[in-house]
Structure 1
């Protein structure tokens, strides 16, 4: 019974999410409540366990994306250089790009203007304020790359199409 309920919830969350986003590839799984904006583009084999995108910025997520729970993408901010203090009625909007084969741990915040490159991993609890390099493993607040995947092994697995 538990498994049936899980699959039913996943079906409902996935169906609702697909109606909201701009476009998506094949095999999209939204396992827990997630909120996407109208400017979201998803690749193939994307798995979400609770992601909220706020703002109107463009969000592009590549193939084979996996996330933990409670992820926040913030693509819009108040304009602090406007006509009022501390900010005015206008917004600063920045895009987020996540390339293929990226894994984001639970409780991560990603700010607009960030580009996470292919094969990267973001440690749970991180706040990502700048780009993350190819196969970089980043963590902290603000997130910094502290090591890298074994790039030759990564390329071999990719060539053999060994995707989860």
Structure 2
């Protein structure tokens, strides 16, 4: 290597290394932010994943689905706020210790969430239950009973607040 090449390389090494380090840091920061955003739009499940039915048109955010006691079926264009839990599982309160942990029904506690249903943030749904099409469940509500289509419910437990007029009615 010629003397001039060595001098140029030595002169540029510091600024070039700093520029590369800055770009790498920016890319890593962007990837971390994308992962955080992705976590907001991913859900978790407990039990057999094949018992959870979510169409591509549904928006589910960071929900938790427990399918240990039945199937969960979500309709087209349903959407969820953050931190929604839909649970089919329950335990036998008459059992104790390890037996209580293991004593739960394996079926019969299905949850059906109809087309266009909106479950706002922090909703808890306990199966077996059906939430009819285009119903709205207000934030923080506890759903333990069926919800009729085109109905708004709120509270713990959820109670009917109003009816929604279906299109064309």
Q: What RMSD in Å do the two structures reach over aligned CA positions?
A: 2.8
Which of 67, 70, 73 is the aligned partner of 1:60? 73
Instruction: Summarize the alignment of residues 2-41 of structure 1 with structure 2, pairs less than 5 Å apart.
Output: 8-9=34-35, 31-37=40-46, 38=49, 39-41=51-53
What TM-score comes out, normalization by structure 1 length? 0.70
- Deviation, structure 1 residue 32: 2.6
| C-alpha contact 1:120 1:132 (8 A) present in aligned 2 | yes
In structure 2, do the counterparts of structure 1 residues 54 and 41 end up closer, same or farther at CA, with 3 Å as the change threshold? same
For these two proteins, the number of residue pairs brought into alignment is 133
Aligned partner of 1:138 in structure 2 is: 153
Aligned partner of 1:48 in structure 2 is: 60
Larger radius of gyration: 2
Which of 115, 129, 142 is the aligned partner of 1:127? 142
Aligned partner of 1:105 in structure 2 is: 120
Q: Is the partner of 1:60 in helix, strand or coil?
A: strand
* Structure 1: gaps (5+ residues): 14-30, 157-164
| C-alpha contact 2:45 2:67 (8 A) present in aligned 1 | no
1-structure distance, mates of 2:33, 2:76 = 22
| C-alpha contact 2:52 2:67 (8 A) present in aligned 1 | no
- Deviation, structure 1 residue 78: 0.8
2-structure distance, mates of 1:6, 1:106 = 24
Q: Specify which structure has the higher proportion of strand.
A: 1
* Structure 2: gaps (5+ residues): 1-25
Indicate whether 1:73 and 2:86 are aligned. yes
